[in-house]
Structure 1
Amino acid sequence: MNEGARPPAAIAASALTGGHFRYYDFVMAAFVAIILLSNVLGAGKVAQVWLPGIGYWPFGAGILFFPVSYVIGDVLTEVYGYARARRVIWAGTGAVLFMAVMAWVVVALPPAPSWGNQGAYETIFGQVPRIVFASVCAFWAGEFVNSYVLARMKLLTRGRMLWARTIGSTIAGQGVDSLIFYPLAFLYAVGWTTDLVIQVLFTQWALKVAWEVVLTPVTYVVIGFLKRREGVDVYDEGTDFTPFATRV
């Protein structure tokens, strides 16, 4: 698309077929990278933070970076439309599934006698099937809810109040994500009481939404930059919102 100082042209998503976007591939790559790293490094660890007047409060370590994927999801839907965001969500889902299979195969390979790190490797990269299943389901459902709500709100607000769209879609998407992931992954698991699951679930949801609020100025800057550079402002008029497709 054209690059320049002219404001982006409002265009219906159904009229936007083909074409090449300058930054779309980079945004997709960033999204998939964050999803993979968050699942490897943060999903299963419970950390804690000291809150004045409350004491130590547990939270999932993945909260530090995983919410950035929702910011990128907002950028994708707002700039490129629901259909192109849908392709990225499916790409992320496929990448997470491949990561799980690769981790299972590599961990299962018999180690060489001279290599003494198998135990540590299993601790870090060993994938519990239950957690993988919960992670994939929660990611898939949460991201699609986030993208759908944002696209619908853009039509209802006629492109105004971006802050309300990004925060509102995150409240819905992250709520679905947390409600699916923590019960599926940890309810009745060793070391996880029901109270702890509920506590971490709502803490995660609140912190993810708070992250979205904090990062709103950054979201504005990125979306404004991409719209100017790509030269379009996509509205999902006439879009088929089914998640079970990859066409644009």
Structure 2
Amino acid sequence: MEFSNKGQKLFLILTAVFVANAILAELIGVKIFALEDTLGVAPFNWNLFGQTGSLSFTAGTLLWPIVFVMTDVINEYFGRRGVRMISWLAVFLIIYAFAFAFAAIALAPAGWWVTVGEKQGVPDMQAAFAQIFGQGLWTIAGSVTAFLIGQLVDVGIFHWIRKRTGGKHIWLRATGSTVISQAFDSLIVLYIAFVIGPQKWSISLWLAVASVNYIYKVCAAIALTPLIYLLRRLLDSWLGKPLSDELKSKAAAA
């Protein structure tokens, strides 16, 4: 792909933000948090598929809305090829990050470091480090598979809607692509990581947690739609109308 200097800069910036957030989301996604307890309110006592209690989310959901916005902006200016390239790059770097996390776990810890966190309630720093960063292969496989499938579905739906609306209604293609792609993402990652994986979640627990995470992602996508319009306006102004129109035209035709 040949871009002007500003086009190249934009692609580089979007790639950096996208990949950084994707990797961070994968690393912190091992934590499951309770929404009501985090907010300091009484549990809603929801009942989904027989599961009750506080609403449970993976911590990675905090960052995925940013990934959604970046995906839609990249789609808008660089098309399918741009999104696919960045998605494959993100997958490679996620695997790369986990590979070095496992390598770090395998390093022999300094004796004094193992107990340095005792006063903070962490008696064994090596065990804590291994538990947090040593996500099982099932979790890694689930995350990478779900991420890649979700991105490929997202870009396909985005351009399908774009062609049928003639480039209008960015809110429709941005939200529509997220609504469908994140159904795949939310179900796949938890199924591979926690149902097939060693924790052996029940189907009801899988569906309950996946549903809550999916609803959150959809709501976040809708809430962030104005941000996509704002970013588009700012980028159009920065790029200049001729270059902006050229990039969008190439993206739509790709």
Write the distance in 1 (CA, Å) between the matches of 2:194 and 2:96.
22
SS at structure 2 position matched to 1:47: strand
Is the Cα–Cα contact under 8 Å of residues 174 and 205 in structure 1 kept in the other structure? yes
Is the Cα–Cα contact under 8 Å of residues 65 and 221 in structure 2 kept in the other structure? yes
Name the residue aligned to 1:23: 10
Please give the TM-score of this superposition, normalised by the length of structure 1. Answer: 0.83
Change (3 A) 1:202 1:53: closer
Pairing 1:171-182 to 2, within 5 Å after superposition: 171-182=179-190
Figure out how many residues of one structure are paired with residues of the other and give that number: 223
1:39 equivalenced with 2:26 (yes/no): yes
Change (3 A) 1:137 1:105: same
1:202 aligned to which of 182, 188, 211 = 211
* 1:227 to partner: Cα distance: 2.9
* Bigger share in helix: 2
Is the Cα–Cα contact under 8 Å of residues 150 and 165 in structure 1 kept in the other structure? yes
Runs of 4+ off more than 4 Å: none
SS at structure 2 position matched to 1:141: helix
Write the distance in 1 (CA, Å) between the matches of 2:141 and 2:253.
33
Is the Cα–Cα contact under 8 Å of residues 78 and 151 in structure 1 kept in the other structure? no
Name the residue aligned to 2:35: 49
* 1:229 to partner: Cα distance: 2.3
Please give the TM-score of this superposition, normalised by the length of structure 2. Answer: 0.81
Write the distance in 2 (CA, Å) between the matches of 1:79 and 1:221.
14
Is the Cα–Cα contact under 8 Å of residues 32 and 56 in structure 2 kept in the other structure? yes
SS at structure 2 position matched to 1:67: helix
SS at structure 1 position matched to 2:56: strand
Post-superposition CA distance 1:32-86 (Å, at most 9, x none):
1101111111x12221223657352222222122222011101100122221122
Amino acid at match of 2:244: V
Change (3 A) 1:133 1:191: closer
Is the Cα–Cα contact under 8 Å of residues 57 and 209 in structure 2 kept in the other structure? yes
Name the residue aligned to 1:242: none
Write the distance in 2 (CA, Å) between the matches of 1:173 and 1:191.
25
- RMSD of aligned C-alpha atoms? 1.9
Where in structure 1 are there 5+ consecutive unaligned residues?
1-15, 240-248
Write the distance in 2 (CA, Å) between the matches of 1:186 and 1:119.
21
* 1:18 to partner: Cα distance: 4.5
Post-superposition CA distance 1:94-143 (Å, at most 9, x none):
11010111111111112122321211211221121010011111111101
Where in structure 2 are there 5+ consecutive unaligned residues?
37-42, 47-52, 115-124
Post-superposition CA distance 1:183-211 (Å, at most 9, x none):
11111543733211110111111110100
Name the residue aligned to 1:244: none
1:98 equivalenced with 2:93 (yes/no): no
Name the residue aligned to 2:121: none
Is the Cα–Cα contact under 8 Å of residues 79 and 226 in structure 1 kept in the other structure? no
SS at structure 2 position matched to 1:23: helix
Post-superposition CA distance 1:123-165 (Å, at most 9, x none):
2211210100111111111011111211221121011111111
Matched residues, percent identical?
Answer: 28
